[in-house]
Amino acid sequence: MPELPEVETVCRGMEQAVKGRVITRVDVRREGLRVPFPPALKDSLTGRTVKDLGRRAKYILADMDDGAVLIFHLGMAGRIGLVPPGRDYVPQKHDHLILGFDDGSLLVFNDARRFGVVALARRTDLQSHRMLSGLGPEPLEPGFSGATLSQSLKNRKTSVKAALMDQRVVAGLGNIYVCEALFMAGIDPQRPACSLSAADAGSLAQAIRDVLERAILAGGSTLRDYRRTDGELGYFQHQFAVYDRAGAACPGCVCDVSRTGGIGKITQGGRSTYYCPERQR
DNA sequence: CTCCTGTCCTGCCGGC
DNA sequence: TGCCGGCAGGACAGGA
């Protein structure tokens, strides 16, 4: 379940391995995922040089030397593996797309659940691309603040949890980091988004930035499916305060867990929410 | 507009 | 041991 820190980690791994490399081979091993691969994928990419790698929300953007942009979304279980030059590549189940480079290295896109996306766009039209056009601010960039968050939450009657999951409000968060940020800010996930004060929004925005930055430093979180491009695990899951910790004591907990039941688990919008009913108000 | 629900997809885990 | 139901969840469509 790659969210912003996991996607950022993958993106940095790709940048190290393939930036400046020429794509010499495009091997499409199945027709596509839920969304078919672009028909022009092979013709568009073969012979191109990868000029740059970047991330927008949970999308990885690989800029080519001719203005094309290859877009990856990892969905829930998507992995991008990099096979160094000279290392044997052993095909794995669900390896759907392989790019070969001029130094003999390979990029392998694997997605067991097929929720991921591979798309092509033009750099000049990227802002208006249907997958990217509606996205809210990047939480780690200056365009995101307590003030902007407050502004986008103030007319929403839905829960603050659901609002933060909405990529139009802030880009790149998913279930894990929303739960963690709400805990850090001491805000009850069930509160209507519009009930947050300016001060609440300020501490929430800060909590979002903090948790994302700490997670990136740890190389993301590996729960079930996510891997870094070198196959290594992320380690941030060991720092979770509430996610997947129902019944446990929250960090710094001073309440009687045998009485309170510890960290609570509820369902919001069909997704699990973990929170501390004592500390999140 | 916003809000809410259902759908996609398959591996894994717990229960029997 | 083996089977099966339920769960995980990001994005989006479609209906209220």
Q: Report pLDDT digits (tens) over A115-160.
A: 899 999 999 999 889 899 989 999 999 999 999 999 999 989 999 9
Please indicate whether residue A271 is annotated as part of the active site.
yes
Tell me what pLDDT residue A33 has. 82
Above pLDDT 90, what percent of chain A? 68
Determine if strand C comes within 7 Å of the CB of A168.
no
Q: Quick: pLDDT tens for A198-230.
A: 999 999 999 999 999 999 998 888 766 677 888
Tell me what pLDDT residue A280 has. 93
Q: Quick: pLDDT tens for A226-267.
A: 778 887 778 888 889 999 898 889 888 887 888 888 899 998
With distances taken from each CA to the C1' atom of nucleotide B13, the closest residue turns out to be: A224
The CA-to-CA distance between both ends of chain A, in Å, stands at 27
Please indicate whether residue A93 is annotated as part of the active site.
no
Give the span between the Cα atoms of A249 and A278, in whole angstroms: 11
Catalytic residue among A42, A156, A209, A271: A271
Tell me what pLDDT residue A71 has. 95
Q: Show the beta-strand stretches assigned E in chain A.
A: 23-28, 50-56, 59-64, 68-73, 78-83, 95-101, 106-111, 117-122, 264-268, 271-275
With distances taken from each CA to the C1' atom of nucleotide B3, the closest residue turns out to be: A158
Q: Which nucleotide is nearest to A1 (CA to C1')?
A: C9
Compute the mean pLDDT over every residue in chain A, rounded to the nearest whole number. Answer: 91
Say if residues A62 and A119 touch (Cβ distance below 8 Å): no
Say if residues A111 and A18 touch (Cβ distance below 8 Å): no
Determine if strand B comes within 7 Å of the CB of A155.
yes
- Per-residue pLDDT at A103 exceeds 90: yes
Please indicate whether residue A213 is annotated as part of the active site.
no
DSSP A184: H
pTM: 0.94
Tell me what pLDDT residue A113 has. 86
- Per-residue pLDDT at A111 exceeds 80: yes
- Per-residue pLDDT at A114 exceeds 90: no
Q: Which nucleotide is nearest to A94 (CA to C1')?
A: B10
Instruction: Find the mean pLDDT for residues A170-197.
Output: 94
Tell me what pLDDT residue A224 has. 62
Give the span between the Cα atoms of A226 and A203, in whole angstroms: 29
Write out the two tokens for A245. 């910790």
Catalytic residue among A3, A6, A15, A180: A3
Determine if strand B comes within 7 Å of the CB of A193.
yes
The gap between A175 CA and C12 C1' (Å) is 17
Please indicate whether residue A58 is annotated as part of the active site.
yes
Tell me what pLDDT residue A225 has. 63
Say if residues A140 and A212 touch (Cβ distance below 8 Å): yes
Catalytic residue among A21, A48, A56, A58: A58
In 3-state terms chain A splits into helix, strand, coil percentages (rounded to 5) of 30, 25, 45
Tell me what pLDDT residue A234 has. 81
CA angle in degrees (0–180, nearest 5) for A114-A117-A118: 125
Tell me what pLDDT residue A136 has. 93
Tell me what pLDDT residue A222 has. 75
With distances taken from each CA to the C1' atom of nucleotide B4, the closest residue turns out to be: A269
The gap between A198 CA and B16 C1' (Å) is 52
Say if residues A142 and A94 touch (Cβ distance below 8 Å): no
The gap between A1 CA and C5 C1' (Å) is 22
Band of residue A187 on the pLDDT scale cut at 50, 70, 90: very high
> β-pairing, A106-111 with A78-83?
antiparallel
Amino acid found at A67: G
Instruction: Find the mean pLDDT for residues A194-199.
Output: 95
Determine if strand B comes within 7 Å of the CB of A158.
yes
Q: Which nucleotide is nearest to A192 (CA to C1')?
A: B3
Contacts of A4 (CB under 8 A, 6+ apart): A55, A57, A58, A139, A140, A171, A172, A173, A174, A177, A212
The gap between A159 CA and C15 C1' (Å) is 21
Tell me what pLDDT residue A30 has. 81
Determine if strand B comes within 7 Å of the CB of A267.
no
Q: Quick: pLDDT tens for A42-83.
A: 999 999 999 999 999 999 999 999 999 999 999 888 899 999
